[in-house]
Structure 1
């Protein structure tokens, strides 16, 4: 446990500067995009009024008012970019140890004790980044709403759109504990699966590694499609029973991914 905590702390320290740069850049872009949308809408209304010599009310009938959903439309793209960054980081957190000038992986693999601490320290670090990203993004959405409400003139604002969360992002930022738990569980599984593929690539020669990676991807996809198709055609289970079965299979496969990754790290990955 002590080694796991020390390695997790080391991984966090190694990633902290880059993480802060990325987060601050995303926050700045998102908040600036709200300001830009409000200013652009106001300028558009003023230009229409000046060109057509009409009142604000008549101009807004043609141009329409601005809601926070439209002003924060860039947030959804930044969320997708954030997801992509997490996936890239999940890959980079392993390969930087092999490809860095100091070959840090040699130090890790030669540490006394169980190598499982190496795996779980990296998994914990990525998981903490995912949790913090969701929390920060939620705070930015709330802050952006207050910024929007402060900047825009009342008559320019769409009063029917007062939600600080855009509709397409509700599933991510409702902060409902069940929904949040499902999102984090899926994220953890995806990261674990990426770790497995990386360890397979590091454990075997290129040709054999490609075949094994293909099998690890194809088999679960084929089984999932087959089971879902069978259940859809036969209707032998109720919806609740199907959900329980799906959760059970997912948990079993998650346990397999962790077991397989640890086995490769213990027995196949060498200095």
Structure 2
């Protein structure tokens, strides 16, 4: 993006015999927003998220369909089987946080690359802290610890429900696919109950009350996912 901007700038200044100030007055200065809002920046992030979503399924099914059916060796370990569930869940969350951390480390480097290509006279003043104004950045990097817990907590619950749905399918075969879909829909329905209540009551509940209801249903959905997974691993999946 920096090279394209400078090439276009040089061509137009040469073609129209514009001074630096005239060009800036006509077209404005370069902003890192151009980089941040471009496909070069956003597509790798979305691609990484898509790969993580695929890995949520791959982390289980590779153990069943891999060359040595590794799942049987895992299930025969002298420990509680639910440990396998928690280990895989932790792996996914660490990969998500690793992606987030990588972006934090890359941003200052990318800003320095832009600074090395585009002269300071053609740039707007942009710092790392400006990223909080972007919507996607607000989702990846919440401003408060409470928002962080809410956003990534919802992600944790989503992965836990998917894991349990996979175990349902593994436990009941073809029928398990239907059971897993129904389970996922019921879990989603329970999770959005507080939001629907607040919408249909025309804002009758205070924000704190809605927040507490969300916390309660989140605990219910997560707790039921873990309990069901533990039950399936103990009694339904045989070695």
Q: Structure 1 length as normaliser, TM-score?
A: 0.78
Q: Please state whether the residue corresponding to 2:170 is helix, strand or coil.
A: helix
Q: CA deviation at 1:141?
A: 1.5
Deviation at 1:149, TM superposition (A): 2.5
Give the aligned length: 233
Residues 197 and 178 (structure 1), Cα distance of their counterparts in 2 relative to 1, 3 Å cut: same
Residue of structure 2 in register with 1:158 after alignment: 124
Aligned to 1:194: 162
Secondary structure at the aligned position of 1:270 is classed as coil
Match of 2:86 among 109, 112, 120: 120
CA–CA separation in structure 2 for the residues paired with 1:249 and 1:218: 14
What residue in structure 2 maps to residue 20 of structure 1? none
Structure 2 unaligned spans of 5+: none
Structure 1 residue 269 and structure 2 residue 237: aligned? yes
Distance, in Å, in 2 between the alignment partners of 1:192 and 1:224 is: 13
User: Alignment partner for residue 211 of structure 2, among 208, 219, 243?
Assistant: 243
Offset, 1:150: 3.2
Please report the TM-score for the alignment, with normalisation by the length of structure 2.
0.88
When structure 1 is superposed on structure 2, of 56-65 and 98-107 the one drifting more is: 56-65
User: Kindly tell me: are residues 225 and 179 of structure 1, through their superposed partners in 2, closer, same or farther at Cα, counting changes over 3 Å?
Assistant: closer
Relative to 1, partners in 2 of residues 1:257 and 1:83: Cα closer, same or farther, differing over 3 Å?
Answer: same
Residue aligning to 1:23: none
Contact 1:65 1:157 in 2 (8 A): yes
Q: Match of 2:138?
A: 170
Is 1:210 the counterpart of 2:177? The answer is: yes
Alignment partner of 2:237: what SS?
coil
* Structure 1 residue 62 displacement after superposition: 3.2
* Greater relative contact order, per chain length (Cα 8 Å cut-off, separation 6+): 1
Name the SS for the 2:4 alignment partner: helix
